[in-house]
Amino acid sequence: MTTLVTGATGNIGSRVVAGLVGAGQRVRAMSRDPGKAAAKLPAGVEWAGGDFDRPETWADALRGVHRVYLFPGVHLDPPREEGFIGRAVEAGVRRFVVHSAVAAGFPSQDDPRDPGLTPLQRHLADEREGHRDLELAVEASGAEWTHIRPGLLAAGALDWAGEIRATGSVRAPYPRAAQALTHEADVAEVAVAALLTDDHLGAAHTITGPHPVTQLDQIRAIGAATGRAVGFVELTPEQARREWYDPGQGVDHGVIDWLLELLAACADDPALVPPTGTFERITGRPPRTFAQWASDHAADFR
C-alpha cells in the first residue's frame, strides 16, 4: 500500500516521509522540484514530479496510492470532481490526512471581506476560510479523513536565522509576546499515526507546544543551543514597520499590520491560542519544547 506525501520537502512533509519510511511503508513523495526532493528524501522513497497547478502531473503521482498526506496547496476553484481531491478518489485513494491550521477550528463569525475587521481579524478569517474549505472538500469526497491543525510553528523562528548568523542579535518589537509554539516533529508524528492507524478517523487534532514562550525566551533558547550569546534589540512598532517592509518578499504593509497586531495581542494575552493536551493524549508524551526545537535546528543559526 503506497502513501503519497504532498509538500514532501517541507519542514513537516519531510518528517512525515521519514516517519512512514521508519514504519516500513511504501512512500511516494510529490514535489515540483526534483533536485530538492533528491537531496531531502531518504533512500528508497519514490519521487513523483507533481504540482497542484498542473493537473497533467496528477495521474503519475496518484497511481497505486491509497492514502494521501494533503498539504494546503490544493486549489478548490474547479468543481470538486475535476480537482485534485476528486481525481485522487477516482484513482483509488481511500484516506486523506489534511495538513490544516488551528484557525480552521475558530468560530465562523468574521467574513474576511468585511471592511470593519482589523488586519489580524481579516487574516485569521482568511486562514479559517481557506483551511476549513479544504477540510470540507475532503469530508465531502467520501474518503476517510483526519485533520491535523497545528498552532503557530516554532519553525517561524527560522526567519531570524540569517540575522543571527550575520549580527548575533535579533531586532524586533514586543519581546514579551508569547505563543505556545509547535515543533514540526509533533505535527508529523500525529500525521503518521493518522495515516497508519484507524484511531484518528473523523478527528480534527489541534496540536500546540506545551506552554507559551516569549520572543525573548526564544532568543535565549537559540543562544543556549548554539553556544553563543544572542542579543535582542527591541524596536518600536513603527521602527519594525520601516525595517520589515519588503514587497519583493511578500512583506507589504498589509502583512506587517496583522503581524504587529498579533504580537501586541500575544504580549497582552499569551493564551491567545491556548496550549492543548492533544499531543500528550495521543502519544503519552508531552509536546516537544521550544528549547528542544532550537537544539534540533542549532545548525541553522550558526
Assign residue 42 the CATH number of its domain: 3.40.50.720
> 85 and 191 share a domain?
yes
Rounded Cα distance between 297 and 302, Å, is 9
234 and 200 inside one domain: no
Structural domain total, the chain: 2
Residues 103 and 141 in one domain: yes
pLDDT, tens digit, 9 for 90 and up, residues 239-254 = 999 998 887 777 788 8
Least confident of 4-18, 231-245, 259-273: 259-273
What's the confidence (pLDDT) of residue 117? 79
Handedness of CA 285, 286, 288, 292 (dihedral sign): negative
Determine, yes or no, domain membership for 283: no
Cα angle vertex 13, ends 52, 284, to 5°? Answer: 140
CA–CA gap between residue 217 and residue 185 (Å, rounded): 21
Three-class DSSP labels, 82-100 = HCHHHHHHHHCCCEEEEEC
pLDDT in tens, 23-43: 999 999 998 876 776 677 888
Q: What is the pLDDT, as a whole number, of residue 78?
A: 56
Do 144 and 94 touch, CB atoms closer than 8 A? yes
SS3 122: helix
pLDDT over threshold 70, residue 76: no
In terms of domains, do 174 and 294 share one?
yes
C-alpha cell at 183: 515543533
Whole-angstrom distance, CA of residue 167 vs CA of residue 5: 37
Whether 73 and 201 map to the same domain: the answer is yes
Check pLDDT > 60 for residue 81: no
- pLDDT at residue 225 in the model: 97
Q: What is the pLDDT of residues 134-172, one digit of tens each?
A: 999 999 999 999 999 999 999 999 999 999 999 999 999
Q: Specify whether 52 is located in the same domain as 117.
A: yes
**Pair 107, 167 in one domain:** no
pLDDT tier at 120, thresholds 50, 70, 90: confident
Q: Which of 171, 191, 207 is a domain's end point? A: 207
Half-sphere exposure of 7 (CA within 13 A, CB side): 18
Shared domain for 174 and 189, answered yes or no, is no
Q: Is residue 91 part of a domain?
A: yes
The answer to whether position 62 is within a domain reads: yes
Q: What mean pLDDT is reported for the chain?
A: 90
State whether 164 and 142 are in the same domain.
no
CB–CB of 300/161 below 8 Å?
yes
- Please report whether residue 279 resides in a domain: no
> What is the extent of the structural domain holding 121?
2-152+182-207
Q: Kindly state whether residues 203 and 114 are assigned to the same domain.
A: yes
Tell me: do 61 and 83 sit in the same domain: yes
Helix axes of 13-22 and 184-196: crossing angle, nearest 10 degrees = 50
Within a domain: 258: yes
Average pLDDT over residues 11-26: 94
141 and 160 co-located in one domain = no
pLDDT of the residue at 203 = 97
Percent pLDDT > 70 in the chain is 93
